[in-house]
């Protein structure tokens, strides 16, 4: 890996009226982009709360229920890199607005679903337009903020939304399902998009098509198919098991296709993923860190939600509210540390410390038992996990998109989203499998009584928490070893890009 963390001067000079106008509107731009990102992140969890109600209303089987989640994750995860390159090719503003409109239309279609097929199609279309929206939003953020201090503050806010959005989705999903109807877990996007779209159309500068970017269709085909194999393979592992031929076949096919994609990119005159984007040491490490944190983060959301609802007896709404300490801690550390500390220290100490603190939070969760209380263990664990994740996400997203150049801003912005999506798929499959195995083993040893079943469920959760803690600890070591020492070099002459 080479190191070249200087942000290029990719925009008009600061003295031009267009640049001054764009610079003056930068915080309004941040608000619109953050709201757009929130829509995408919310949908990873908000619909999950509504699934039992949707299943009852549309009368589909429990076996089919996974497709409501899988359809979204497959389309979103597999098309992100293409969405990022389209942002470079057509201009981030155009792609962002198209993504918002399509995402809102798909949400309305899903909310109005009269049957299972219609809901699945709507979720897949949501994922596809989310794959346009997410990298375009991050790309616009990258090119809007170039001053190190302001960039740190902006990415701190954006990273806080990316990290806390899942917990916000639990709160919102519980409230909408309990007080309105499960369909509002989809319709809510149409409310949010009104404000996000108005902000984007009002404040974002006009886009220009990049002249030196072309679509690499062989690369598109292999990476989409490869990511489908990986994401779908991990999804099937959760239900079929790791030794199932379909699971093995999907994962092997995904790995082979991604290997073919890498070979194609080395030879392509217009690669979908230019290797220079990953060649930088800090950027490559930041993307790896986001993938690792995606694996561990599902130990917080998934299994802690199980514990809070099944053991503590919280309602769906109160289960979401229970995550507020984590959201508060995450937002504070993400905004403060990324704005104040990252320009001075660089990513190495922040991300390493964040991973270690998050690991400590998971260790606290691993102490939970059948008779534990929310205040004694859950709240301290949430504060530690939130504080750690805040340090990780704000800094890592900032570094992952730094210095990539205007022609690669979209594709560089797709990579953190891919890492989070693939990491989440791995985490869900791996942790669910280990938890289920631990619970089954406990019942075999202690018998199938009601008390044993409750204890077995908690034992499975604790195993998942221990493994997630190990994942975060490994992330701390990787961050300490792979990130460069000291602050990143930033070009003081770099200006916001009008792409």
Give the Cα separation of 88 and 7 in Å (integer). Answer: 17
Contacts for 409 with CB less than 8 Å, ≥ 6 apart: 87, 88, 92, 139, 142, 143, 401, 497, 499
State the DSSP code for 406: G
pTM higher than 0.85? no
| CA–CA gap between residue 222 and residue 244 (Å, rounded) | 24
DSSP string of 333-366? HHHHIIIIIHHHH-HHHHHHHHHHHHHHHHHHHT
Q: Is 298 left (phi over 0), alpha (psi -120 to 50) or beta?
A: alpha
Phi then psi for 174, rounded to 5 degrees? -65, -45
Is the CATH code 1.20.1250.20 the one for domain 22-215+272-482? Answer: yes
Q: What letter does residue 272 receive in the DSSP assignment? A: S
Question: What tokens were used for 145?
Answer: 């903020």
CA distance 57 to 451: 33
SS (H, E, C) 151-197: HHHHHHHHHHHHHHHHHHHHHHHHHHHHHCCCCHHHHHHHHHHHHHH
List b or e across 50-80, with b for residues whose CB sees 16 or more CB atoms inside 10 angstroms: bbebbbeebebeeeebebbbbbbbbbbbbbb
C-beta separation of 297 from 431 below 8 A: no
Contacts of 36 by beta carbon, 8 Å cutoff, 6+ apart: 96, 99, 100, 133, 137, 196, 200
Query: What is the distance between the alpha carbons of residues 66 and 124, in angstroms, rounded to a whole number?
Result: 13
HEC profile of 291-337: HHHHHHHHHHHHHHHHHHHHHCCCCHHHHHHCCHHHHHHHHHHHHHH
* Overall residue count recorded for the chain in this entry: 499
The rounded distance, in Å, linking the Cα atoms of 52 and 54 is 6
What are the two backbone dihedrals, phi and then psi, of residue 445, each rounded to the nearest 5 degrees? -80, -30
Domains of the chain, by residue range, sit at: 22-215+272-482, 216-271
pLDDT in tens, the chain (499 residues): 444 443 333 344 444 444 555 567 888 888 889 898 888 888 877 887 788 888 889 988 766 777 888 888 889 888 988 998 898 888 888 999 999 999 999 999 999 999 999 999 999 999 999 999 988 888 888 878 877 778 778 888 887 887 777 778 888 888 888 888 999 999 999 999 999 999 988 888 876 666 666 778 898 999 999 988 988 888 888 778 888 999 999 999 999 999 999 999 888 888 888 878 877 889 899 999 999 998 888 778 878 888 888 889 888 788 888 999 998 999 899 888 877 888 888 899 999 999 999 999 999 999 999 989 999 999 999 999 999 999 998 889 888 888 766 677 778 888 888 888 888 888 888 888 888 888 888 888 888 788 788 888 899 999 999 999 999 999 999 999 999 988 766 543 333 333 3
CB distance 478 to 288 below 8 Å: yes
**Quick one: tokens of 104?**
């809102």
Q: What is the dihedral of CA 23, 191, 333, 162, to 10 degrees?
A: -90
On the CB side of 81, CA atoms within 13 Å amount to 27
Query: What pLDDT shows up at residue 211?
Result: 64
Q: How many CB atoms lie within 10 A of CB 292?
A: 24
CB 74 within 8 A of CB 225: no
pLDDT for the residue numbered 496 = 37
């Amino acid at each position: 890996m080479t190191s070249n963390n200087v942000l290029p001067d990719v925009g008009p000079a600061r003295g031009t009226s267009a640049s001054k106008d764009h610079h003056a509107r930068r915080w309004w731009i941040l608000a619109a982009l953050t709201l757009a990102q929130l829509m995408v992140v919310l949908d990873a969890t908000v619909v999950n709360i509504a699934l039992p109600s949707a299943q009852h209303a549309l009368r589909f089987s429990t076996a089919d229920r996974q497709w409501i989640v899988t359809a979204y994750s497959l389309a979103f995860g597999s098309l992100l890199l293409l969405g990022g390159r389209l942002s470079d090719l057509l201009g981030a503003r155009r792609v962002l607005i198209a993504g918002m409109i399509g995402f809102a239309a798909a949400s309305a279609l899903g909310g109005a679903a009269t049957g299972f097929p219609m809901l699945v199609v709507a979720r897949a279309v949501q994922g596809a337009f989310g794959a346009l929206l997410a990298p375009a939003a991050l790309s616009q953020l990258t090119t809007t903020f170039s001053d190190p201090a302001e960039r740190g503050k902006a990415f701190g806010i954006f990273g806080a939304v990316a990290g806390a959005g899942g917990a916000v989705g639990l709160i919102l999903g519980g409230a909408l399902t309990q007080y309105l109807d499960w369909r509002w877990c989809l319709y809510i996007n149409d409310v949010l998009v009104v404000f996000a779209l108005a902000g984007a159309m009002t404040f974002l500068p006009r886009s220009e098509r990049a002249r030196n970017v072309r679509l690499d269709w062989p690369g598109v085909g292999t990476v989409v198919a490869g990511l489908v194999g990986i994401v779908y393979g991990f999804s099937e592992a959760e239900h079929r098991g790791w030794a199932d031929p379909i699971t093995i076949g999907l994962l092997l096919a995904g790995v082979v296709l991604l290997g073919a994609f890498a070979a194609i990119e080395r030879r392509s005159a217009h690669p979908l993923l230019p290797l220079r984007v990953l060649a930088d040491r800090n950027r490559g490490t930041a993307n790896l860190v986001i993938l690792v944190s995606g694996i561990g983060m599902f130990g917080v959301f998934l299994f802690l939600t199980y514990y809070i609802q099944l053991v503590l007896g919280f309602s769906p709404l109160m289960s979401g509210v229970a995550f507020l300490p984590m959201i508060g801690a995450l937002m504070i550390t993400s905004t403060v540390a990324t704005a104040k500390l990252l320009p001075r220290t660089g990513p190495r100490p922040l991300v390493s410390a964040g991973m270690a603190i998050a690991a400590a939070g998971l260790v606290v969760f691993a102490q939970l038992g059948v008779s534990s209380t929310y205040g004694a263990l859950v709240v301290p664990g949430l504060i530690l996990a939130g504080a750690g994740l805040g340090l990780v996400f704000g800094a890592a997203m900032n570094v992952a998109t730094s210095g990539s150049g205007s022609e690669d801003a979209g594709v560089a912005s797709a990579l953190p989203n891919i890492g989070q999506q693939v990491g989440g798929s791995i985490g869900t499959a791996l942790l669910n499998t280990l938890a289920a195995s631990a619970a089954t083993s406990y019942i075999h040893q202690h018998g199938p009584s009601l008390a044993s079943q409750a204890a077995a469920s908690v034992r499975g959760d604790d195993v998942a928490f221990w493994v997630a803690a190990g994942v975060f600890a490994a992330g701390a070591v990787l961050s300490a070893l792979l990130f460069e020492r000291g602050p990143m070099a930033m070009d003081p002459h770099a200006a916001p890009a009008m792409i």
